[in-house]
Amino acid sequence: MKLTPQPQLVEVFTKTGLLPYMKLLGVAELVFVSLFLWSPTLRIGFFLLTGYFGGAMAIELSQHIFFIMPAVILAFVWLAAWLRDNSLFGVGHKSQKTIAAH
């Protein structure tokens, strides 16, 4: 949606002063989602999407804009990451024990 000038998005990006970067941010979002969907790059995509939507929430909060949309999207990203690879959250991670030689 950021690649086409939707009136609601234009309004939000104008308020935040990011209107000149709207298409660039749209492309970045597509790249991050692609990385997240491709299994070998799931982890980096997950961390990039978390940073991206966390930053979106911070910008919207600082501008007194209703920030629920990036929060909902981020919640879905985290849920999808949990379902695809819960080791991202430390669950199911097997710790290696060191065997001391006697």
What's the helix, strand, coil split of the chain in %, to 5? 75, 0, 25
CA distances from 97 to 24, 52, 86, 87, 101 (A): 46, 36, 21, 18, 13
Quote the pTM value.
0.81
The Cα–Cα gap between 83 and 42 comes to 12
Q: Judging by beta carbons within 10 Å of its beta carbon (0-12, 13-18, 19+), is residue 47 exposed, middle or buried?
A: middle
Does the pLDDT of residue 79 top 90, yes or no?
yes
Residue 96: the pLDDT is: 53
**Does the pLDDT at position 102 exceed 80?**
no
| Domains in the chain: boundaries | 7-86
- Give the per-residue pLDDT at 94: 57
